[in-house]
Amino acid sequence: MSRWVLHVDLDQFIAAVEVLRRPELRGKPVVVGGDGDPAKRGVVSTASYEAREFGVHSGQPLRTAAKRCPDCVFLPVDADAYNEVSERVMAVLRDTGQPVEVLGWDEAFVGVDTADPETFARALAADVRAATELDCSVGIGENKLQAKIATGFGKPAGVFRLTSATWFDLLGDRPPDAIWGIGAKTTAKLATLGIGTVRELAAADPDRLAREFGPMTGPWLVLLGRGIGDDEVDPTPYVARSHGREVTYQRNIADWTQVTAEVTRLARQVETEVDRPVARVVVKVRYAPFDTVTHGVPLAGDFAAAALAALALFEPGVPPRPVRLLGVRAEFADVDG
> For residues 301 and 282, what is the distance between their CA atoms, to the nearest angstrom?
14
The SS3 assignment for 36 reads coil
DSSP 95: T
Segment holding 236, helix H or strand E: none
Q: Which of 18, 50, 101, 107 is catalytic?
A: 107
What separation in angstroms does the CA of 6 have from each of 19, 39, 240?
Answer: 27, 40, 24
Q: What share of the chain is helix, strand, coil (3-state, %, to 5)?
A: 40, 25, 35
Residue 246 a catalytic site member: no
Start-to-end CA span in the chain (Å): 35
> For residues 77 and 294, what is the distance between their CA atoms, to the nearest angstrom?
25
> For residues 55 and 63, what is the distance between their CA atoms, to the nearest angstrom?
13
Which of the residues are catalytic? 107
